[in-house]
Amino acid sequence: MSQIIDKAEAGMNARQYHIGIAPGEVGTVALLPGDPFRVPLIAEFLTDVTDVAHNREHRTMTGYYKGKLITATSTGMGCPSTAIAVEELARVGVTSFIRVGSSAGLQPGVNPGDLLVSEGTLRNDGTTAAYAHHGFPAVPDLELTLALRTAALALPGAGTDYQVLSGLNASDDAFYAETPEWIAELNSLGILNVEMESSALYVVSRLRKLRAGMICACSSNLVDGTSLYDHDPAKLMDGWRNSIVAALDAAVALDL
Ligand SMILES: O=P(O)(O)O[C@H]1O[C@H](CO)[C@@H](O)[C@H]1O
Ligand SMILES: O=c1cc[nH]c(=O)[nH]1
């Protein structure tokens, strides 16, 4: 007799296998950096911080920002672990997700430290093919996206110290297989920036009726020859901090 497990239902309301979190340990909104070491950076903006769990690449801390309970969980790099993090966080009560990542500019004039608000993702990943037809759009929640842009534009350095840009981005699976031809194609399509997680974040969130958005800090530019990854880490660090504040302000503004 068949005893095939339905993973879409299995393990609901239990301590989750990969993130190591049980219901009641997190709030309803989560900020999602890729890097576990960026979770404590988010916690610097919170009060009453709790170290909740750290299993594999998924580190989680909670705390309060302007009276709101905020969760920060790292996704790791790429769509497979991001889909797992979103699925499992949803099972323990998170309903809104804001990715705060780093991303490479694909148009001239997108500079390290600029804030990039995502309007939609070109799905160049394998994970979401397992979830939905290749034509299914990877798009963020409209209200959350507008709130992220409003919050970013309201930051003190916006428009002077750095730009706030919005547009389409791509999610790639293979950092070192981004050929010059592929980068040129993305550039010619008008894609603003490239990262590696939002495709899974958006598709899984749509299918599970969750909210998702993304604000990235520009780490580098792949088309104007002005920056490599280790050029000016201070600018990227400022960008991360600014994107975190914008995400926190948007979460409070929408009471996510
Ligand atoms: O800095 P994070 O959020 O990890 O984002 C970007 O950095 C990693 C690649 O260097 C990928 O995960 C990419 O999406
Ligand atoms: O996919 C990515 C993400 C960040 N930077 C890149 O060059 N590629």
Q: How confident is the model at residue 139 (pLDDT cuts 50, 70, 90)?
A: very high
| pLDDT (0 to 100) of residue 233 | 84
For the Cβ of 175 lying below 6 angstroms from any atom of ligand 2, the answer is yes
Residue 195 alpha carbon to ligand 2 centre in Å: 5
Ligand 1 environment, Cβ below 6 A: 33-35, 77, 101-102, 175, 195-197
Residue 143 structure tokens: 């209200």
Sequence-distant (6+) residues with CB within 8 A of 159 are 153
pTM reported for the whole predicted model: 0.97
Question: CB-side exposure of 195: number of CA atoms within 13 Å?
Answer: 32
Selection from 116, 83, 111 nearest residue 215 by Cα = 116
Mutation choice for ligand 1 from 195, 201, 214, 240, CB with most ligand atoms inside 8 A:
195
Among 58, 106, 197, 199, the mutation site with the greatest number of ligand 1 atoms within 8 A of its Cβ is 197
Cα 173 to chain center, whole Å? 15
Lookup: tokens for 166: 């919005």
Q: Are 102 and 240 in contact (CB under 8 A)?
A: yes
pLDDT in tens, 147-167: 999 999 999 999 999 999 999
Give the alpha-carbon dihedral of 127, 142, 39, 157, to 10 degrees. 130
Q: How far apart are CA 54 and CA 36, in angstroms?
A: 8
pLDDT at residue 3, rounded to an integer: 87
Predicted local confidence at residue 225, as pLDDT: 77
pLDDT in tens, 54-74: 999 999 999 999 999 999 999
Nearest ligand to the C-alpha atom of residue 197: 1
In the chain, beta strands by DSSP E:
29-32, 47-55, 58-65, 68-73, 96-105, 115-124, 164-172, 193-195, 211-221
Residue 2 vs residue 72, higher pLDDT = 72
User: For residue range 112-136, what is the model confidence (pLDDT) as tens digits?
Assistant: 999 999 999 999 999 999 999 999 9
pLDDT at 227 over 90: no
Of the pLDDT bands very low, low, confident and very high (cuts 50, 70, 90), residue 8 is confident
Instruction: Name the band, by pLDDT with cuts 50, 70 and 90, for residue 13.
Output: confident
* Mean pLDDT for all residues in the chain: 96
**pLDDT tens digits, residue range 58-117?**
999 999 999 999 999 999 999 999 999 999 999 999 999 999 999 999 999 999 999 999
Q: What's the CA gap between 195 and 76, in Å, rounded?
A: 12
pLDDT attached to residue 230: 61
**Pocket-testing residue among 82, 103, 122, ligand 2, by greatest number of atoms within 8 A of Cβ:** 103
Whether the pLDDT of residue 41 is over 90: the answer is yes
Cα separation values, 142 from 21, 109, 208, 215, Å: 29, 26, 16, 13
Pocket of ligand 2 contains residue 197 by CB under 6 Å: no
- For residue 231, pLDDT over 80 is answered with no
Q: Hunting for tokens 């950076």 — which residue is that?
A: 41
Query: What percent of the chain is modeled with pLDDT above 90?
Result: 91
Question: Hey, whose CA ends up nearest to atom 1 of ligand 2?
Answer: 195
CA of 159 to the centre of ligand 2 (A): 24
Structure ipTM: 0.96
